[in-house]
Structure 1
Amino acid sequence: MAILTLPRTEEHESVTTAPNGMRNTAVRAGARRMGVVAFTALLAYLVVLPIVRLQLTAFEDGAAGYSRAFGLSRIGQILWYTLGLAIGSLAIAMVLGTALAWAASRLPRRFAFLEVLPILPIVIPAVASIVGWAFLLSPRPGYLNAMLRNLPWWSHLEEGPVDIYSIEWIVIITGFSLSSFVFMFVRSGFENINSEMIEAAQVSGMPEWKVFFRITLPLLRPTLIYGSGVALLLGLGQFTGPLLLGTNSGVSVLTTEMYFQISDSPAQFATAAALGSPLLVVGVVVVFAQKAMLGNQRRFVTHGGKAFKSQGRPSKAGVAVILVFSLLSTILPLLALVFVALSRYWRGTIDFSTLTFDNFRTIFSGTAVPAAVGNSLMFSFAAMAIVLPLGFVAAGLIVRGQRYPALRLLVDVLVSMPLGVPAVIFGAAFLLTYTTGPIILYGTPWVVILVYVTLMLPFATRMQLSSMLALGDSYLEASRVSGAGFVATNVKILLPLMRGSLGGTAALLFVLLTHEFTASLLVRASRTQVMGTILFEYWSNGGYPLVAAVALVMTGVTAVGVTAAMLAGGADAMSKM
């Protein structure tokens, strides 16, 4: 019997295939949501769990940690020094950083290469820079002090006139070091301001000072708020300067006191956790205050394409500002390191006939320094390989995660938390968390790598976030309209456009990671020494020429790494750093 077969119509086909299409869409949406949830849980494990475990110890035995911490006889002075260091260094950094950003935006074309100079203090490790300042301004053998005592009004002094070990000079040195961070944030704000808006205001007859306060300054609001918040939190969490310069003169802040408590035998984790609580509370408040003041950052975007380039009116004053800052912040400390590293002894005079390379031969003839250099490079590259993708995903979720508003907000808070928590707290938290079960990592490279990844999350996310905001949505929308999927759009469109930003981010991360000293000092073991911790051991033993030699090696390693990252990032990498 013949069977009559009717032709398959489009309507019939759509009926049979529509449920499958809807089901596939629902499956993809569910998988995407599960991926976002898993990513958020991973961030929470890295950031929140160690801090919670540390803080819980302060409440054990009836909050005995708080009783011991705030029962210290010197706690009032410690709190005063901590607050003074944060506020004083913030004021210095904001003034200098903003002035440097303005100067960089006004450089004449033939002096454009000078815009890299304000970033150089970041390339010099903080521990090395502070050692350089100590060689310059120690009361008796400091080079600059010895020169100043030759002047008539200080010729009667046997030491001084500057005491680098005082709280005032620790504040000044810290402010100089934080200026470069503020400069990076504020400069990106200057570069993202459309010059047409400035020119329109000037053509309308508005004076230049009014243009700055009514046009430029409001558009700089996100970078000023974020830069000031970062500088304040870094000032509150300062550790290297107070430890190296303030210990012998009685200048102690909360971070150094935490380190001394953990260094005791047995380690006083509860007391250290209680001492870190004020820093933790202030950090969380600052992070949420930044969110509230910034609001929707798209309001401050005045362009929407990669081809945009901000133009500023050239000014010779910009050249002078950058050169003077570079002389004080970079050149003088480096020269001091060079002279001490090439000398047999550190004294206030320089005898060129006695300069020698023996100190470099000494540090490389042993195994400690080469092993520390190798560890720093290995740990830094491993952390970068992890944190760059994490930062990319987090930035993408923050910018375009409108489907998951709660998770989007939670991710934004999680990646910002390490900025609000001093590195010494993370170091203590990771030391406590990974020296006990269920996961014991102390003595292995992984505890160092994990703490590095956690500390770098804000920087990896924020720099890529800024680039995504500046690019706008036009390129991504065009890609999707042409039929490209989510993965293809990110791999073929977004990543190539962000090459310069990724190179700048990698360079900054390499600098921060190879310089990391605070958390490394707490989680290190004999086999996981890095450059900063080995330099501290030489400093503690009083071998100052060897300290200077190690500091120069650290600086050289960082410079090579930054150059490699810039070459990989292309011509735009430096401007994105």
Structure 2
Amino acid sequence: MALASTTTTPHDTPRGPTPQPPESAAPGSLAGLLRRLCTLQGLLVGGSVLVVGYLALVPLGYLVHDTFLSADGSGFSVDAFARAYGGNSEAGSMMLNSLGFAVGAAAFALVLGTVLAYIQVRTDTPFKGLFFAASLVPLIVPGILYATSWIFLGDPTTGVVNQLVFKPLFGITPINIYSVWGMIWVQGLHLAPVAFLLMVAAFRAMDPSLEESAAMSGARRVTVLRRVTLPLMRPAMISAALLMFVQSLESFEVPGLLGLQNGIYVFTSRIYFVLRAYPIDYGAAGALAIGLLAIAAAGVLLSGWLQRSTRTFQTVTGKAFRPRPVELGRARPWVGASVVVYFLVTVVLPVAVLVYASLLSHYTAPTRKAFASMSLANYRQVLDTPLAFTALKNSVLLGVGAATIVMALTSVVAWVVLRTKAPGRRLLDLLAFTPIVIPGLVLGLALAFVYLRVPLPIYGTLLILLLSYCTRYLPYGMRYASAAMSQMAPELEESAEVCGASWFQTFRRVLLPLMSGGVLAGWIYILVVSFRELSSTILLYSPGKEVLSVLIWEQFENGQFTTLAALGVCMVAILVVLVCVAYRLGARFGLQSDAPNQ
């Protein structure tokens, strides 16, 4: 009876107050928030957010603050802008040169890359294998070496093209690589492979049924291209044009090697020489850097405005399709010949003339006497130079370190942006992409402003170069990591969690292996571009902390062109070996072999 008397029905009203969970366990309480933050997941995510915010915002904050600070440190001032853009600075011609160079190189690279991508994807042209060889080699060859090779080819007095082609045939030497048009030519050819790879992906993703419908309606091929294909490609073309414009605007190697020979200044070369003058005018350099940053940001805003109606041109659907190649007919041999010529101009000639120059004691146009004097003396000199091995060691350390840190960081950040509903995750995504509009020279100057004033002894060390590389290539790592993670369904993580796996176990044993293709592609890309980086490095390195790109620049300034060529050939060979080793290791550990297509 006693047991029966304590039995209640669902309709009984409980006596006394209902027990409440302790306040510290409430989901929105401060203690609950601290408990979540103190987990491994919270520490990794919170640390990644802080690192991204620091890398993206702190250098720019110091740059703006110190530029607008008066010389005596008393308050706000615009005197730095007066010194940078007033007087005899010739700021007007510098701006025109910068814009003309950036717009011209971007347009040239975009047109060339789009035409080549259309030919490769949509036509039955022969020699298609040469397209990807012509796109990969210029990506590996650093800009400073590519510009140097075109100096050997297009110099008015000793250039191979002038001396072996135009002078014997016409008695003139019309090509002058030391001009704005020469700068546009070299920069455009070096960027065309990037535009080609971007547009190839766009053409492959576009459903060609609209083009086929227009052709069946009687439209000519040129009309279809103008009225259907190009409008459908407009979003991809705008994105590629923006990337080409920003990369041309921030380029230092091509204007430094070609423009300065003829007194042609752009923003980057002017900043470099302001910082090399004595006494150094950091305020004027900061004012020039802010002007360059403003132009890059304006380009991004213009790109967003032009893409405001992008949704109108969305044609990728869930329906499978296979483009029908356009038959070139009688034009097929001519198009194939054009492909071969493009490969010769962009790959064979620059690399061959670089190897040729590396075998000479002093550079001269190819003659029988020059070929007879060839030797390996320059390579022996490079091997006997202790600084060359120091620069190689520094380049490898910085390249591997930057690639590893960026891909590890962006993998966590991509998870926060794509897999959580955390407030501010869109802002975090924006912060991770912010450095893409910061030119390399501006970033180098901004970091100099920070660590010349902060009591942290890393200025003049490899650590400040590592910070520069991590900041500079953060957007590219984010692109690879986000693309890889967005292709995975969240059910895989949920299944691991149901089986009792912690967040770190899920991330390490489920997400990272599935993201391996994109992570490997991003790691290799950042490794390669870190080896090539010069624009930010040139302002931050100190004696004994040189990298290979800086050593090549010093050889150019000293007029040692043949030694420079030998060092450049060694650098390209090392890059090729590193990329091959990375892919072999990726295949050995089960990483996807098609990583670059992520």
* Fold agreement, TM-score > 0.5: yes
Q: Is the 8 A contact 1:81 1:167 kept in 2?
A: yes
What is the match of residue 386 of structure 1? 405
| Contact 2:404 2:523 (8 Å CA) reproduced | no
> Does 1:91 find its partner at 2:100?
no
Counterparts of 1:144 and 1:6, CA distance in 2: 104
- CA distance in structure 2 between the aligned counterparts of 1:314 and 1:498, rounded to whole angstroms: 36
Matches within 5 A, 1:133-212: 133-153=150-170, 155=171, 157=172, 160-193=173-206
Aligned position for 1:302: 316
Q: Aligned AA for 2:164? A: M
Aligned length: 562
Letter in 2 for 1:480: E
Confirm or deny that 1:50 pairs with 2:63.
no
CA distance in 2, matches of 1:512, 1:424: 15
Given the alignment of the two structures, is residue 572 of structure 1 paired with residue 581 of structure 2, yes or no? no
In 1, are the aligned partners of 2:274 and 2:280 still within 8 Å (CA)? yes
Give the corresponding residue for 1:375: 394
Shift of 1:372: 0.5
Aligned partner (choices 60, 63, 66) of residue 81 of structure 2: 66
Q: Which moved more, 1:431-440 or 1:421-430?
A: 431-440
Tell me, yes or no, if structure 1 residue 345 matches structure 2 residue 362. Answer: yes
CA RMSD for the aligned pairs?
Answer: 3.7
Q: 1:226 to 1:463 in 2, by over 3 A?
A: farther
Q: Which moved more, 1:564-573 or 1:53-62?
A: 564-573
Q: Residue 349 and residue 497 in structure 1: after superposition, are their counterparts in 2 closer, same or farther (change >3 A)?
A: same
Distance 1:35 1:372, change over 3 A: closer
**Structure 1: which amino acid aligns with 2:597?**
S
Q: Is the 8 Å Cα contact of residues 79 and 253 (structure 1) preserved in structure 2?
A: yes
Could you list the per-position Cα deviations for residues 512-542 of structure 1 after superposition, in whole angstroms to 9, with x for gaps in the alignment? Answer: 1100011111110112100010011111111
Match of 2:568 among 551, 556, 577: 551
Is 1:514 equivalent to 2:527 in the alignment? no
Partner SS for 2:393: helix
Deviation at 1:9, TM superposition (A): 13
The amino acid that maps onto 2:91 is I
C-alpha separation in 1, matches of 2:447 and 2:425: 26
- Determine the structure 2 residue equivalent to 1:239: 252
Counterpart Cα distance in 2 of 1:72 and 1:7: 96
TM-score normalised per structure 1: 0.86
Instruction: Give the superposition deviation at 1:57.
Output: 2.0
Hey, what's the Cα distance between the residues in 1 that align with 2:509 and 2:339? Answer: 39
Q: Spell out, residue by residue over 1:478-528, the C-alpha distance to the aligned partner (whole angstroms, 9 max, x if none).
A: 653684776566555544444333332222212211000111111101121
Find 2:116's aligned residue among 67, 79, 100: 100
Q: Distance in 1 between matches of 2:455 and 2:583?
A: 41
Q: Which residue of 1 aligns with 2:96?
A: 80
d(CA) in 1 for partners of 2:401 and 2:96? Answer: 39
- Render the CA deviation track for 1:62-106: whole Å, top value 9, x for unaligned: 222111001142211111111110111111011012122223324
The Cα of 1:466 is off from its aligned counterpart by: 3.5
Partner SS for 2:473: helix
For 1:518, what is the secondary structure of its paired residue? coil
CA contact (8 A) 1:423 1:518 kept: yes
The CA distance in 2 between the partners of 1:560 and 1:35, in whole Å, is 34
Structure-2 residue corresponding to 1:499: 516
Residue of structure 2 equivalent to 1:253:
266
Q: Greater shift after overlay, 434-443 or 373-382? A: 434-443
Bigger fraction of residues in helix: 1
Tell which deviates more after alignment, 410-419 or 566-575: 566-575
| Identity over aligned pairs, percent | 25
Residue 437 of structure 1: how far off its partner (Å): 1.9
8 Å contact 2:143–2:253 — kept in the other structure?
yes
CA drift at 1:221 = 4.3
Structure 1: runs of 5 or more not aligned: none
Give the CA deviation at 1:433. 1.3
Unaligned runs of 5+ in 2: 71-76
